[in-house]
């Protein structure tokens, strides 16, 4: 038996009227049609929920407290990780304190990545929150040599700014690769391939930095910046750092220190001094006024920035171009 058409037509082009709609909803084909539609929607809904749950449960949850480690975890983990970057570009990691929402996320993480070398004063609090569930990895403390610097109370402390050395970034990449592999051994080959590709890029970056820095004679490689963040960079590329203040950007240099630095800059003929993305540039202005050195530009000292400096590669290129071009 042929069922009646849903919309009765006499072959002519017609507009759908109220009469048509009434006929349509009273037609037995309509109820069969709606029943099938409901079944399809129910199936799609269950399938969608299933996929979403499987996807979320399957992924390795990573909490990162460094913009640089956020990039590394994303590059190595690819689609297999869901990375929460608790420190965003522009946030001063020396002053950062985790909020209740950060702690909640950390509690559900499989892996927590920290810069370490005493950057995070809240590490004990994080370890307490996570308990035995996830794994806290203090990346900067793994197989990475520490340089020293002088803090605001004139004490020698570990320099936490290890990411200004591609050599250290390669160590960090291997640490993250190994930690992800421990959590998901089935993805070992994927993490290894991603790490190799990323390390290759870091090696190319290191070559680029060396070539760019070679434009600058050794006696001109003197770096005057707001805070003492470029020790590892200086070690790798033959610079001498002349910091205006200590470990953190909010450190205020004493007037005696500023006077000494001004004398050093005048004596060594440094052409430019630099400021940083979130630092107070007042002291830099005073130094340029007193010494005749020019303001060389802003450097990214405490992690990734935005725009062209939103990646490790971009951050390096921005810093190195700014330094070399101003000191030439
Ligand atoms: Zn810093």
At residue 4, the pLDDT reads 46
Query: Per-residue pLDDT averaged across 153-157, rounded?
Result: 83
Residue 202 in domain: yes
On whether residue 5 sits in a domain, the answer given is no
Residue 10: inside a domain, yes or no? no
Tell how far the Cα of 92 is from the centroid of ligand 1, in angstroms: 8
Q: Is residue 231 part of a domain?
A: yes
Domain final position from 156, 180, 208: 208
Residue 7 predicted with pLDDT over 50: no
**pLDDT for position 295:** 94
Distance from the alpha carbon of residue 53 to the mean position of ligand 1, in angstroms: 40
Q: Are residues 47 and 135 in the same domain?
A: no
Task: Give distance in angstroms: CA of 123 to centre of ligand 1.
Answer: 17
Average pLDDT over residues 197-216: 98
How far is ligand 1, taken at its centre, from the CA of residue 252, in Å? Answer: 13
CATH number at residue 90: 3.40.50.1980
pLDDT band per the 50, 70, 90 thresholds, residue 109:
very high
Query: Cα separation of 146 and 158, whole Å?
Result: 6
- Banded pLDDT at 14 (limits 50, 70, 90): very low
94 alpha carbon – ligand 1 mean position (Å): 6
Give residue 228 CA to ligand 1 midpoint distance, Å: 7
- Same domain as 200, residue 107: yes
Q: Whole-prediction pTM value?
A: 0.81
- Containing domain of residue 103, as a range? 58-208
Cβ-Cβ contacts under 8 Å for 304 (sequence gap 6 or more): 67, 68, 71, 89, 310, 311, 312, 314, 315
Q: How far is the CA of 299 from the centre of ligand 1 (A)?
A: 11
What separation in angstroms does the CA of 130 have from each of 105, 124, 137, 287?
10, 10, 12, 46
Q: pLDDT averaged over the chain?
A: 86
Going from the Cα of 142 to the center of ligand 1, the distance in angstroms, rounded, reads 19
Q: Which of residues 34, 51, 68 is at a domain's end?
A: 51
pLDDT band for position 10 (cuts 50, 70, 90): very low
> Is 1 within the bounds of a domain?
no
Domain boundary among 208, 239, 268: 208
- The verdict on 134 and 181 lying in the same domain is yes
Position 233 pLDDT exceeds 70: yes
Cα(147) to centroid(ligand 1), Å:
13
Q: What percent of the chain has pLDDT over 90?
A: 64
Q: Where are the alpha helices (DSSP H) in the chain?
A: 18-26, 28-58, 67-77, 100-107, 123-130, 166-183, 188-213, 231-237, 255-268, 282-291, 312-327
Report how far ligand 1's centroid is from the alpha carbon of 284 (Å): 16
Sequence-distant (≥ 6) Cβ neighbours of residue 176 within 8 angstroms: 69, 72, 73, 76, 77, 113, 137, 139, 195
Number of neighbouring beta carbons within 10 Å of residue 277: 19
Q: Which range has highest mean pLDDT (17-26, 51-60, 141-150)?
A: 141-150
Q: In angstroms, what is the span from residue 73 Cα to ligand 1's centroid? A: 21
- 266 alpha carbon to ligand 1 midpoint, in Å? 26
In a domain, 8, yes or no: no
- Both tokens of 199, joined, read 């390390």
pLDDT of residue 130: 81
Q: How many domains does the chain have?
A: 3
Looking at the fold, whether 68 and 189 belong to one and the same domain comes out as yes
Residue 116's pLDDT is 97
Neighbours of ion ligand 1 (CB under 5 A): 229, 302
139 in any annotated domain: yes
Residue 17: CB atoms within 10 A of its CB come to 9
* Structural contact between residues 275 and 302, judged by C-beta atoms closer than 8 angstroms: no
- Alpha carbon of 63 to ligand 1 centroid (Å): 21
pLDDT at 251 over 80: no
Flag whether 12 is in a domain.
Answer: no
* Predicted local confidence at residue 1, as pLDDT: 41
37 with 97, same domain? no
Quick one: pLDDT band at residue 8, thresholds 50, 70, 90?
very low
- pLDDT (average), residues 319-324: 98
Cα(43) to centroid(ligand 1), Å: 53
**Weakest-pLDDT range from 173-182, 216-225, 227-236, 237-246:** 237-246
pLDDT digits 0-9 by tens, 273-287: 998 865 667 888 889
Is there a single domain that holds both residue 197 and residue 66? yes
Same domain, 143 and 248: no
Higher-confidence residue of 254 and 242: namely 242
Same domain, 117 and 38: no
* For range 58-77, the mean pLDDT: 97
For residues 28 and 71, state if they share a domain: no
Taking the centre of ligand 1 as the mean of its atom positions, its distance from the CA of residue 68, in whole angstroms, is 13
Instruction: Please check whether residues 186 and 220 belong to one and the same domain.
Output: no
Please, how many CA atoms are within 13 Å of residue 95, restricted to the half-sphere of its CB?
A: 10
Per-residue pLDDT, 53: 46
* Dist. CA 76 → ligand 1 center (Å): 25
Tell me: the pLDDT tens digits for 166-194? 999 999 999 999 999 999 999 999 999 99
Lowest mean pLDDT among 52-56, 166-170, 210-214, 226-230: 52-56
Mean pLDDT of 222-233: 93
pLDDT-based confidence at residue 17 (cuts at 50, 70, 90)? low
Regarding whether 235 and 201 lie in a shared domain, the answer is no
Residues 135 and 156 in one domain: yes
Tokens of 173: 């990449």
Average pLDDT over residues 73-99: 96
Q: Can you give the pLDDT at residue 289?
A: 93
User: What is the CA(227)–ligand 1 centre distance, in A?
Assistant: 7
Q: In which order are the strands placed within the sheet that holds 111-114?
A: 81-85, 60-64, 111-114, 135-138
Whether residue 151 has pLDDT greater than 80: no
């Amino acid at each position: 038996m042929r069922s009646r058409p849903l919309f009765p037509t006499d072959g002519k082009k017609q507009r759908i009227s109220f009469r048509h709609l009434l006929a349509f909803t009273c037609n037995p084909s309509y109820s069969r049609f709606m029943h099938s539609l409901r079944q399809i929607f129910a199936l799609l809904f269950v399938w969608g929920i299933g996929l979403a749950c499987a996807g979320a449960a399957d992924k390795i949850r990573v909490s990162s407290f460094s913009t640089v480690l956020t990039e590394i975890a994303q590059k190595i983990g690819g689609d297999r990780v869901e990375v929460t970057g608790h420190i965003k570009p522009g946030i001063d990691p020396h002053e950062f304190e985790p909020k209740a929402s950060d702690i909640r996320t950390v509690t559900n993480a499989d892996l927590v990545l920290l810069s370490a070398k005493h950057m995070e004063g809240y590490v004990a609090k994080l370890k307490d929150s996570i308990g035995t569930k996830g794994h806290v990895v203090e990346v900067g403390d793994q197989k990475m040599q520490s340089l020293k610097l002088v803090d605001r109370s004139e004490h020698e402390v570990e320099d936490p700014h290890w990411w200004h050395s591609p050599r250290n970034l390669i160590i960090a990449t291997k640490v993250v690769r190994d930690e992800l592999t421990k959590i998901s051994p089935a993805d070992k080959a994927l993490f290894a391939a991603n790490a190799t590709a990323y390390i290759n890029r870091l090696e190319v970056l290191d070559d680029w930095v060396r070539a760019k820095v070679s434009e600058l004679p050794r006696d001109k490689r003197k770096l005057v910046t707001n805070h003492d963040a470029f020790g590892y960079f200086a070690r790798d590329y033959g610079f001498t750092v002349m910091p205006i203040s200590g470990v953190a950007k909010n450190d205020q240099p004493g007037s005696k220190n500023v006077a000494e630095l001004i004398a050093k800059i005048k004596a060594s003929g440094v052409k430019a001094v630099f400021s940083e993305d979130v630092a107070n540039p007042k002291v830099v202005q005073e130094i340029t006024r007193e010494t005749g050195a020019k303001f060389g530009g802003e450097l990214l000292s405490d992690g990734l920035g935005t725009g062209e400096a939103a990646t490790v590669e971009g951050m390096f290129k921005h810093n190195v171009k700014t330094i070399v071009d101003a000191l030439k």
